[in-house]
Structure 1
């Protein structure tokens, strides 16, 4: 199955959807996404009193693997290896390496496959960086370097999966079936939506027990995260939080991130279209929506928030371990798919252990990797706080080894100070790890309260 996952011909081109409102032809305005990122880095520098060049240096180097050249490896001591990252990355990396990264990050293509207008867009991006005093030399004009810089072009790379025996999938298949039985016991029913591409989406639906609320109250749409065993791991969350609301609950199921033998992952268009069809089937497309999502599900919630037909219905958003916030920064993809290779020497043993657990249980599994590397569009999946149209509750785990909770907290504070909209409330859970909320009643109670009320900002330092 691994050769199939490494077949790049299975990839379909993705269209950037963040800026369709700019003109009738959004494809020619891809540089606006980089402008948005640069503006955010600039604002953060102004708030924290830092130099833009230094912060952009840290931002860009996180998207590259820094490898000592073979001729220098034997000469570099262990102490020097630890300090290698202290050099100026912007002065050391060549223009072609950055162009290769931009080709992936903004077009999901190899640099030599770019069309003329795409190359023109990248030229505009380099001009924008020149306005900030950042230029890159051609490789032929540079002196010999101690390191080679390899851009992390996630969706264009080969799978890095680890072999699992068939018994592994049988085990989690039984766990998944056990979860299905429990959902049936609590009144959920399983449905299927067929997509035009031939793929299908399965989902679970439970109507409100109060008949008078069927047509009036909001429907809860819950998007789950990467989970070996599927929805079985979310049973405490579903029963304790979602069922207690006595509202209609709608739970799409993403098989490719549950350790299932499935290459048939839905892309952004298919997922949004299937959700709309499912809501229409149950006559909920005119009702309001509560969007609730965990971890990877926050990517899918981002797609839903951009859907023109669904967006006006959204009344509240609850995000738990939101990996989609600050996705343009390298933390999430580096920590999850690359196990943060550049920073392992700086981690303590607990952080390393957590990273290894994530790698062994999730990030190195073939079908999860296939979804992320072949179906995922980086530029369509970041959730920008200013784009959320309603009350939003965000829950962060302080010891999360996948996302950078401290950086997201700073971004939330900056947004709340500089924005006229004060309808974003957040909580930081101390000494809690990624997904630990699913099994702690105290934390589940806080999420439940966020679903029930929208009165005051709750913040934990």
Structure 2
């Protein structure tokens, strides 16, 4: 936001980081969803407990007919399952299991965050075909002291306050910044500042000085006023219980869909080194001359069941090319799966996925590749590859793949990519911390965001460095034939306008489809322009 100077016409940035964040009033749709959907489902477990206690206390079980005894059996199942659910919740309520990670990688990642948006770039329509600059606004920018009214400093303060639950920037104190930085670097709760080891304190002080330069203001060394930094993997896990009946219905729906896919489209299900998947390969498909295989990486929700319509569309309209759909039970509410609470980490996931692609013959064999997951190594030859399509959380896996083996993905389509600009905090704040005000927010929060497996994945296994997808990590990012990003202006999870701006200032224009009225996931479930854009783009090659 800018205001013109009344005398000389200069533009001075308004300090939007000091405008208090006011939560919108809850809509009637929120209350309707809460009363008629959330409360009934949430009430199943306390009702089951009450019924079981009443029956056991009175001994009326022997007076029931078959219907009554069936209800009692279901209630007993819900009671026992609630105890199991509570045990699972307690098992993930402690510190993150992945430890602190690579400190050097985290330091480099944070410096990258500070440099993002530091280059004074105009947002304009670049000609992707003639633009020679490989990385406008790249990490080569130096972190210098900015003035407080510099638009880059104002913008930085505004987007950084998402990590402090939208508090005004002036209310954030040094100890709040220290607590946030300690989580960024060490993935742990900060001990008393005075007890920190010398190297740790030096690291925090240096990082704080960079933040102050980037923000254009010194951080007050004053007592905290209650500002709570967002520390995703160590804050209390936000989980709402749900009944056994819900999980059984989800499992049953996916089971029915599985058999329907096998019978209707000839897909086959398999498992490669722990990575489960389904694949459809047309009998007449030729690996040399025909269109490249499509890999679809799904997002949070119900797994295959959630994408039933879109999968049907892919299988029907792309019957001449193979389709691979990796299954991720930890984000699909498959609580009965042995790896429900142990999602594959980045290296294991990519090793399995690449191994599966090699087994299928879609990418070069391992003797032509660097198997150590070093990012800048290129295979000796690349006559094959895959088209990769990801939605929402799937963009994290997509980013892992591109960072490790960028030349295997000959084309990439990102739909609602939460991996881009995830370092700005909007996704975490909107999806996990912000109170719900609309019916759609409540549906997404209750049925997806606070589900046990999803909460465990996001709040105990989230690695912001690995999950962040930068412009320079995307091969051929400015080529609209090879890279497509689909965004919705009304996305309740990611800040689609920020993502669009980040990409456009780096020279991406024709490869962005932005629907001002589009919501999260809408291009995959509706026959709108976003859906048509994805379909047409996939048909190119």
Which bracket does the TM-score occupy, shorter chain normalised?
A: 0.7 to 0.9
- Call closer, same or farther: CA 1:251–1:29 in 2, change over 3 Å: closer
Which of 110, 113, 138 aligns to 1:34? It is 110
CA distance 1:203–1:120, shift in 2 (3 Å)? farther
Give RMSD over aligned pairs. Answer: 2.6
Which of residues 57, 63, 69 is equivalent to 2:157?
Answer: 57
Among candidates 401, 423, 432, match of residue 518 of structure 2: 432
- 1:189 aligned residue (268, 271, 278): 268
| CA apart distance, 1:210 | 2.4
Q: CA deviation at 1:15?
A: 3.6
Secondary structure of 1:323's counterpart equals: coil
Greater CA radius of gyration, 1 or 2?
2
CA distance in 2, matches of 1:357, 1:236: 20
User: How has the CA–CA distance of structure 1 residues 134 and 235 changed in structure 2, closer, same or farther, with 3 Å as cutoff?
Assistant: same
Q: Distance in 1 between matches of 2:280 and 2:470?
A: 31
Partner of 2:233: 155
- Note the residue ranges of structure 2 that are not aligned, 5 or more in a row: 1-87, 125-148, 365-383, 477-481
- Paired with 1:192 and 1:115, the residues of 2 have a C-alpha distance of 46
Q: CA deviation at 1:181?
A: 1.6
Deviates more, 1:27-36 or 1:103-112: 27-36
2:398 aligned to 272, 278, 301, which one? Answer: 301
Q: Is the 8 A contact 1:222 1:249 kept in 2?
A: yes
Q: After superposition, give the CA deviation of every residue in 1:146-174 in whole Å (9 maximum; x if it has no partner).
A: x4111111111221111111111001111
Aligned ranges 1:34-433 → 2 under 5 Å: 34-43=110-119, 51-65=151-165, 87=168, 89=169, 91-112=170-191, 117=199, 119-132=201-214, 133-139=216-222, 142=223, 147-185=225-263, 186-194=265-273, 200-213=274-287, 217-228=291-302, 230-241=303-314, 243-245=316-318, 246-261=320-335, 262-286=340-364, 287-307=384-404, 310-338=405-433, 340-341=434-435, 352-390=438-476, 391-416=482-507, 425-433=511-519
Cα offset for 1:3? Answer: 0.4
Tell me the secondary structure at the aligned position of residue 218 of structure 2.
coil
- d(CA) in 1 for partners of 2:183 and 2:239? 21
Find the counterpart in structure 1 of residue 45 from structure 2.
Answer: none
How far does residue 215 in structure 1 lie from its aligned partner after superposition? 7.8
CA displacement, residues 72-97 of structure 1 (integer Å, 9 cap, x when unaligned): xxxxxxxxxxxxx5x5x2x4322221
Residues 446 and 47 (structure 1), Cα distance of their counterparts in 2 relative to 1, 3 Å cut = closer
Residue by residue over 1:224-279, the C-alpha shift from the partner in whole angstroms, topping out at 9 and shown as x without a partner, is: 01122x21221222232355332221111111111111213111122111101211
> For the Cα contact (< 8 Å) 2:292–2:321, is it kept in 1?
yes
- What number of residue pairs does the alignment pair up? 395
Q: CA deviation at 1:411?
A: 1.9
The verdict on how the C-alpha distance between 1:44 and 1:205 changes in structure 2, with shifts beyond 3 A counting, is farther
Deviation by residue 1:286-306 (Cα, 9 ceiling, x = unmatched):
221111000110011011111
The alpha-carbon distance between structure 1 residues 211 and 54, as it changes in their structure 2 partners (threshold 3 A), is: closer
1:4 and 2:91 aligned: yes
Residue 65 of structure 1 and its aligned partner are, at CA, apart by: 3.5
Distance 1:34 1:332 in 2: 17
> Using the alignment, how far apart are the partners of 2:295 and 2:119 within structure 1?
34
Q: Secondary structure of the equivalent of 1:111?
A: coil
Indicate whether 1:452 and 2:452 are aligned: no
Residue deviations 1:409-445, cap 9 Å, x none? Answer: 22222122xxxxx586011124222112222234433
How far off is 1:216 after superposition? 6.5
Partner of 1:70: none
3-state SS of 1:156 partner: coil
Distance 1:396 1:120, change over 3 A: same
Tell me, yes or no, if the aligned pair for 1:241 and 1:444 is still in contact at 8 Å.
Answer: no
The change in CA–CA distance for 1:130 and 1:372 in structure 2 (over 3 A counts) is closer
SS in 1 for 2:468: coil
Counterparts of 1:29 and 1:12, CA distance in 2: 15
Report the counterpart of residue 74 of structure 1 in structure 2: none
Residue number in structure 2 paired with 1:348? none
Unaligned residue ranges in structure 1 (runs of 5+): 17-26, 67-84, 195-199, 345-350, 417-421, 455-461
TM-score (norm 1): 0.79
Asked if structure 1 preserves the Cα contact closer than 8 Å seen for 2:106 and 2:184, the reply is: no
**Is contact 1:325-1:408 (8 Å) kept?**
yes
